[in-house]
């Protein structure tokens, strides 16, 4: 299957700082990328959907000014957690897919964010 990478895999930061997470589709062009958050032993919570070159669509309850998403190219999307606080500590996972309804959504390996 296709490969999606995420960087960094793990980050620890101080409260009040901003953290950027990169998501790359390595061997296909991803028209759409998704960002999820996963709490321990829980299912995935979709945060936002981004299409290359356009503004992200955020799910209800997700603060767009806090979780900045940029989808600058067909292979790269970034999530920036601004002014991070301990409650933002979580496992963040990105995914990417093509345009067809049958296209598979491929997931990155995830980023563990810990805010002290």
Partner 1 sequence: AQSVAQPEDQVNVAEGNPLTVKCTYSVSGNPYLFWYVQYPNRGLQFLLKYITGDNLVKGSYGFEAEFNKSQTSFHLKKPSALVSDSALYFCAVRDMNTGFQKLVFGTGTRLLVSP
Residue numbers at the binding site for partner 1 (CB under 8 A):
1, 4, 6, 32, 34, 42-44, 46, 49, 51, 57, 91, 93, 95, 97, 101-102, 104-110, 112
3-state secondary structure of 39: coil
Q: Which is nearer to partner 1, 16 or 98 (CB)?
A: 98
End-to-end CA distance of the chain: 36
Q: Which is nearer to partner 1, 16 or 59 (CB)?
A: 59
- State residue 88 phi and psi, 5-degree precision: -85, -10
Q: Which is nearer to partner 1, 86 or 102 (CB)?
A: 102
3-state secondary structure of 49: strand
């Amino acid at each position: 299957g296709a490969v999606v990478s995420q960087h960094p895999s793990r980050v620890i930061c101080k409260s009040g700082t901003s953290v950027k997470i990169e998501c790359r589709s390595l061997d296909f062009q991803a028209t759409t990328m998704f960002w999820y958050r996963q709490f321990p032993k829980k299912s995935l919570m979709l945060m936002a959907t981004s299409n290359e070159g356009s503004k992200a669509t955020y799910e209800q309850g997700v603060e767009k000014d806090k979780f900045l998403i940029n989808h600058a190219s067909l292979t790269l999307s970034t999530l920036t957690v601004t002014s991070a606080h301990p409650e933002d500590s979580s496992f963040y996972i990105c995914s990417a897919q093509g345009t067809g309804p049958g296209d598979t959504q491929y997931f990155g390996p995830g980023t563990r964010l810990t805010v002290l």
